[in-house]
Amino acid sequence: MARPRVLSGIQPTADSFHLGNYLGAVRQWVTLQETHDAFYCVVDLHAITVPTEPDALRRRSRVAAAQLFAAGLDPERSTIFVQSHVREHSELAWILNCLTGMGEAARMTQFKDKSAKFGESAASVGLFTYPILQAADILLYQANRVPVGADQKQHLELTRDLGGRFNHRYGETFTLPEPYILKEVEKITDLQEPTAKMSKSSSSPAGILDVLEQPGPLRKKVMRAVTDTGSEVLFDEENKPGISNLLRIQSALTGTSIPDLVARYEGQGYGTFKKDVAEAVVEAFSPIRERTEKLLSDEKELDRMLAIGAERASAVARETMAQVRDRVGFLPTL
């Protein structure tokens, strides 16, 4: 039997992924390549929905791809590619745009959050239709599962709605995907603002743990993470969001359950606990940083790996789009 297909994407919007991207997405991508036919992309078309400098985009796209390989994605088993290399993403997005209601698109909360920074009227139409492009990314590959963090749940629902609408209107064409969300790591929060999501673009440097950061600053940030009143290491999201976030991180990185961690640190105060969290983060990130640096030292080879991914992804995308064009009623090209 064919393996179920998985697809996910990550934006090249910073010079490093952060701990939320790593635990909420990338680490699961690595696990899923063992059991799934895996497609993962660096979504550069999504990155330009906010003003982006071309050289920074080029650099960040390579840095993102290198981190994916460095984190353990195997180009033999997974198809790793850059979104803009496969033209069909934009083409399908246009068709899905024409199936989406204005009100439906306006309900997407990520647009509201992200546009708040510029003011809604200054935000681009691309930012507004971002989730529709995301739906195209997923439907194009007939993905069964999409591993994401909790922030993407609403976009996955829209993807299912649009795929279902297309199928209903034009005939069965798309697989409707299920989100794949690991509850324990669905929302890693900012170290300085432990009720907000850790985020490439909205966290302050002190609140964010970057995968490519050196051990020294990583340790400092964990030690300075906002903790809560009291001194007991307890999991209590409401009253101790800072310590609860660190417990979630430590549990995900070491494989020790949260109750076992709470028992281990009983009566020891926050200091010892934070030191251990810092070590676990450094231990997880250092090998990825070193491998990323090595991959980036040979851009030609990295670009070659991405070209292979683009070719494999294009083969699937072309097949889907041939069917879509025909169903919609576009004339064939002779």
**Annotated catalytic sites, by residue?**
114, 197, 200
CB nearer ligand AQP, residue 80 or residue 148: 148
Residue 232 half-sphere exposure, CB side, CA atoms within 13 Å? 7
CA dihedral 307, 73, 220, 200 (to 10 degrees): 50
Q: Residue 12 Cβ, how far from ligand AQP at the closest point, in Å?
A: 8
> Given the rule CB under 6 A, which of 96-104, 119-127, 198-206, 284-292 is the region that contacts ligand AQP?
198-206
Of the candidates 282, 290, 287, the one whose C-alpha atom is nearest the C-alpha of residue 215 is 282
CB nearer ligand AQP, residue 151 or residue 228: 151
The helix/strand/coil state of 320 is helix
- Binding flags for ligand AQP, 151-190, as an x/- string (CB under 6 A): xx--------------------------------xxxx--
The site for ligand AQP, by CB under 6 A, has a size of 21
The helix/strand/coil state of 299 is helix
Residue nearest to ligand AQP (CB): 24
Residue of the chain from 73, 86, 149, 310 that contacts ligand AQP (CB under 6 A) = 149
Q: Residue 24 Cβ, how far from ligand AQP at the closest point, in Å?
A: 2
Q: Residue 149 Cβ, how far from ligand AQP at the closest point, in Å?
A: 2
Tell me: does residue 13 bind ligand AQP (CB under 6 A): yes
Q: Residue 36 Cβ, how far from ligand AQP at the closest point, in Å?
A: 16
Residue of the chain from 5, 200, 221, 248 that contacts ligand AQP (CB under 6 A) = 200
Please identify which residue in the block is written with the tokens 């009227």.
121
Q: Residue 67 Cβ, how far from ligand AQP at the closest point, in Å?
A: 11
Q: How many other CB atoms are found less than 10 A from the CB of residue 176?
A: 17
Using only the alpha carbons of the chain, give its radius of gyration.
Answer: 21
List own/partner pairs for 236-239 with CB under 8 A and 24 or more apart: none
- Binding flags for ligand AQP, 16-45, as an x/- string (CB under 6 A): ----xx--xx--------------------
Q: Residue 246 Cβ, how far from ligand AQP at the closest point, in Å?
A: 14
Please identify which residue in the block is written with the tokens 């994916």.
68
DSSP state, 306? Answer: H
Q: ∠ CA 217-284-194 to the nearest 5 degrees?
A: 60
Q: ∠ CA 248-252-258 to the nearest 5 degrees?
A: 50
Residue of the chain from 7, 66, 143, 198 that contacts ligand AQP (CB under 6 A) = 198
54-70 and 299-328 helices cross at what angle (nearest 10)?
Answer: 100
Q: Residue 82 Cβ, how far from ligand AQP at the closest point, in Å?
A: 14
Q: ∠ CA 150-156-158 to the nearest 5 degrees?
A: 130
Q: How far apart are CA 82 and CA 281, in angstroms?
A: 28
Q: How many other CB atoms are found less than 10 A from the CB of residue 40?
A: 26
CA 77 remoteness from chain centre: 19
Cβ atoms 146, 8 nearer than 8 A: yes
CB nearer ligand AQP, residue 84 or residue 199: 199
CB nearer ligand AQP, residue 170 or residue 235: 235
CB nearer ligand AQP, residue 24 or residue 265: 24
Tell me: does residue 61 bind ligand AQP (CB under 6 A): no
> Given the rule CB under 6 A, which of 13-21, 220-228, 271-279, 304-312 is the region that contacts ligand AQP?
13-21
Chain residues binding ligand AQP by CB under 6 A are: 10-11, 13, 20-21, 24-25, 148-149, 151-152, 185-188, 197-202
